[in-house]
Amino acid sequence: MAVLSDRRRETHRRSAGKNAVRHRVARQESLRRGIGHVASETYLITRLAFTLLRYLGIGYRWITQLLALGCYALLLTPGFLQVAYYYFLSNKVKRSIVYGEQPRNRLDLYLPADVSEPKPVLIFVTGGAWIIGYKAWGSLLGLQLAERGIIVACIDYRNFPQGTISDMVNDTSQGISFVISNIANYGGDPNRIYLMGQSAGAHISSCALLEQATRESGKVDSVSWSISQIKAYFGLSGGYNLLDLVDHFHNRGLYRSIFLSIMEGEQSLKKFSPEIKIQDPCLKCSIPDFPPVYLFHGTADYSIPSVASEQFGDALKRAGAKAEVILYEGKTHTDLFLQDPLRGGKDDLFDHVVAIVHSNDSDALAKDATAPPRRRFVPEILLKLARKISPF
């Protein structure tokens, strides 16, 4: 019996040793994949940046903006490093899921700790002046919403000069279709899909929504998703009438010639202006299926003035859609999306979005009411300095 017991112990030790080796190998492999992902993405962004620099040439405004952006990012580095650690090392982040065949047809998923029951899903389209957009820019939003039981899907799309506005809208639409069709495999509820865009991403995603509405109004057979599947649309600090914004952007360093190249010429500005497009009589039959629209904007936003959201909200209402414009007094273009979330604590915009997503879930609302305050990522003095130097 003693010999048998010794054999069992020896077998157990060997099994434990093998399991430890397997876990160590798995961790090493995960780390190698993470490093490889960082390297490939860094190469991509660097290559695109140099292509863009060749395209821009020498210009005082955009060079000073670029320098200010570098200083701004440096001040917020403590927060960015913490979010990057979560992005690359958390097993609740599914990075670079392929949703199409084109370059940068990738998306990231941020999953709550518990997906035993289907969770609501927020599809997020990041900003970046149509030039430097990247899916990882939504990682802070993904982290914080996942803590509230919401799955976040951050869609990447081709930026200029890799693509123009048609490519960006098509990529976004394809990404939305992929999420709607496949999110159940990741614990998401396909009947609770929300769409959100920030800055240029708000423009692109609203264009995708209206383009889809146009397809449906024309009874196109190849429709792969429907605007009726989107429970609500959130536009954050977006611009929706390009005719009104082209000169404004030029004065801020996004030169008219570059902007028109992004938007495929002056003749296309109306086509890609949601404020104008929503007034198209052809869309009248699609308005009953249009999701409620919530437009958030800071009154001290100098990158895209808050009047852009106000005018789009008015156009939506005139067309018969449900729209609400929420203005935040004294908030800048980056306050709402970066400084306030990095500050932690209470955040009116965040609470507003969560309340809408959880509006028909009493259990989730009860958990939200007792949720601990969100943690701070960056000291207040650095946030204040970053706000002053922000080029946006």
**CB–CB of 83/108 below 8 Å?**
no
Has 171 been annotated as catalytic? Answer: no
Dist. CA 203–CA 255, nearest whole Å:
18
Contact in structure between 171 and 102 (CB atoms under 8 Å): yes
Has 333 been annotated as catalytic?
Answer: yes
Cα–Cα distance list, 239 to 215, 230, 256, 320, 383 (Å): 23, 21, 16, 20, 25
> What are the Cα distances from residue 315, in Å, to 200, 212, 267?
19, 18, 21
Q: Which residue in the list 199, 206, 303, 309 is annotated as catalytic? A: 199
Sheet holding 188-198, edge to edge: 93-98, 106-110, 151-155, 119-125, 188-198, 230-236, 293-298, 323-328
Reading the block at residue 179, the tokens are 């999420």
* Catalytic hit among 333, 335, 340, 390: 333
Nearest to 308 by CA among 248, 227, 255, 389: 248
Annotation marks residue 15 as catalytic? no
Q: How far is CA 134 from CA 104, 128, 205, 378, 387, in A?
A: 9, 8, 14, 22, 22
Task: Return the biggest CA–CA distance within the chain.
Answer: 89
Give 233's DSSP letter. Answer: E
For residue 105, the 8-state DSSP code is: -
- Which residue is it, tokens 């308005």? 287
Of the residues 156, 301, 335, 340, only one is catalytic, namely 301
Place of tokens 């990404």: 175
Q: Is 287 left (phi over 0), alpha (psi -120 to 50) or beta?
A: alpha
Separation CA 388–CA 378 (nearest Å) = 15
8 A C-beta contact, residue 127 and residue 201: yes
Tell me which residues are annotated as active site.
199, 301, 333
